[in-house]
Structure 1
Amino acid sequence: MTQAFFVTGTDTEVGKTFVSCALMQALRQAGQTVIGYKPIAAGAELSHHGLLNDDALLLQQNGSLPLPYEAVNPIVFAPPIAPHIAAAQAQQTINMQVVEQGYQNLLEQGADTLLVEGAGGWHLPLGNGQNLSDWVAQAQLPVIMVVGMKLGCLNHALLTAESITRAGLKLVSWVANSPGVEQGFLAENIAHLEQVIDAPLLGKIPAMNGAQSEFSDVMAAAKQAADNLNIAPLQAIK
């Protein structure tokens, strides 16, 4: 039976995709099969295959099973803006039945683990008063939180963790990620978060000289970052 997790972030640009790829590599190194799902993405280039989002492509490439792009990312918009605004500009609505069907289809692939990556922060608006977090709560997905270790991270991490718990969901783990230049007093900030977040820390991923943002370097960097992660808490969840 496939174990699914939702990967959220304390903000946008905190390294959700990079951490997801590192987790996928760590799980694969542990002998598990793993696939990724980016149900909604904004910011894509037009190709002869249609619109392609870099984050979704990375999830596709780091997975154990060959999946078509549209299975990994069924809803995608070209402009790199909030998806509900992009949808309004395109005179479309974000259909959560498409998100749910895509999720169910991936569960049927038979992988050991499915990582579902959100977009932006926890309360991603979808329009019509809906947030992506509403669907996560409906699906009762355990949540992995990526904390971008930068100014403001303590407040953002605590507010996100509280919101996840308030939604009736289990925050199963978190990752301290340095997406850019390493934060001053990094060790002290991580130590504080370990005391106040009621979930195990999977690992501390250091700043990696821009490799997290350069598409060509992410694959190799994710394999390197996997060495910083302890996935035992995830493997213990049934």
Structure 2
Amino acid sequence: MSAYFVTGTDTDAGKTLVASGLLALARRRGLTTLGLKPVASGSEATPEGLRNADALALQAQCHPAVGYERVNPHAFAPAIAPHLAARRAGAHLTLEKLAVWAREEMDTGRDLILVEGAGGWRVPLNEREDLAGLAVALRLPVILVVGLRLGCISHARLTAEAIRADGLHLAGWVGSLVEPGLAFDAAADEALYRDNLATLEATLPAPCLGVVPRLPTGDPRAMAAAAADHLVLPDGD
């Protein structure tokens, strides 16, 4: 079994697209997979209960299939920071409880397990704990998704430093084109894009696992399959 914690340089950096793409790639290789989203805000009410689009995308790439509650045990309606969403719902999240849940799910013995965080590395879980503490408690290597936009170099380097300061290994990083304006059609823009990638490759202490282009919004399964075409699995997977 190989397991990783997936984090991003910020909210909407492309974590779910990359995570579901990596799971789709593993499935192409005949591996069993499991995607976990411990805490998700911005969920919608359905007859079955609150459902989060990111968690559903991960669930779609689980093989063998699992129920939604196994992927996302804590779903909240407001699209705000998880600790604030939990507070509004009258829930109290703790690292201890999340770690117990995660270990039980990881004991299912899938070939590749990805645990996706929320927002960036230092997103609070409650008044005293960060969600990054779950990766620390589980001793998981980390995959960093870098949203390729203005400021991403500093955000990526600071996140890598924080991961290392927390005693964890950065297993790899993925670039994600997240903004419509970053098409890089002109020669000057293309050169700037390549220079930014070169700087990230030179300064981040981990291999690049791919760069996912901006994909048309559509079915999560199709988007995961398209993302998989631009990714490689971390060493050992």
What TM-score do you get using the length of structure 2 for normalisation? 0.92
How far the C-alpha of 1:217 sits from its partner, in A, is 2.6
Change (3 A) 1:92 1:103: same
Q: How does 1:1-238 map to 2 (within 5 A)?
A: 2-181=1-180, 182=182, 184=189, 185-209=192-216, 211=217, 216-231=218-233, 233-235=235-237
Counting matched residue pairs gives 229
Letter matched to residue 220 of structure 2 = V
Shift of 1:166: 0.6
Could you report, residue by residue, the CA deviation over 1:63-106 in whole angstroms, capped at 9, with x for unpaired residues?
11211111100111111101111122222211334322321222
Contact 2:142–2:168 (CA under 8 A) maintained in structure 1: yes
> 2-side partners of 1:169 and 1:102: how far apart?
20
State the distance in 2 between where 1:193 and 1:177 align.
Answer: 12
For 1:222 and 1:231, locate their aligned partners in 2 and report how far apart those are by CA, in whole Å: 14
Partner Cα distance (1:106, 1:146) in 2: 23
Shift of 1:204: 1.0
How far did residue 135 of structure 1 move? Answer: 2.0
Query: Using the alignment, how far apart are the partners of 1:76 and 1:31 within structure 2?
Result: 30
Q: CA deviation at 1:234?
A: 4.5
Structure 1 residues 42 and 178, CA gap change in structure 2 (3 angstroms): same
Give me the whole-angstrom Cα distance separating, in 2, the residues matched to 1:179 and 1:223: 17
- Contact 1:24-1:62 at 8 Å conserved across structures: yes
CA distance in structure 2 between the aligned counterparts of 1:232 and 1:94, rounded to whole angstroms: 30
**Post-superposition shift, 1:47?**
1.2
Deviations 1:35-69 (A, max 9, x none): 10000010111112111111001100111121111
Give the SS at the match of 2:171: strand
- Relative to structure 1, the CA distance from residue 217 to residue 186 in structure 2 (aligned partners, 3 Å threshold; closer, same or farther) is farther
Deviates more, 1:156-165 or 1:130-139: 130-139
Output the amino acid matched with 2:231. L
CA contact (8 A) 2:94 2:129 kept: no
Cα distance in 1 between the residues matched to 2:15 and 2:130: 18
Q: TM-score scaled to structure 1, two decimals?
A: 0.92
Query: Root-mean-square deviation (CA), in Å?
Result: 1.4
Compute the displacement of 1:114 (Å). 0.5
The amino acid that maps onto 1:192 is: T
- Give the partner amino acid of 1:129: R
- 1:119 deviates by 0.4
SS of the residue corresponding to residue 125 of structure 1 reads coil
| Unpaired segments ≥5 residues, structure 2 | none
What secondary structure is seen at the aligned counterpart in 2 of 1:115?
strand
SS at match of 2:20: helix
1:94 to 1:232, Cα distance in 2 relative to 1, 3 A: closer
Per-residue deviation at 1:190?
0.6
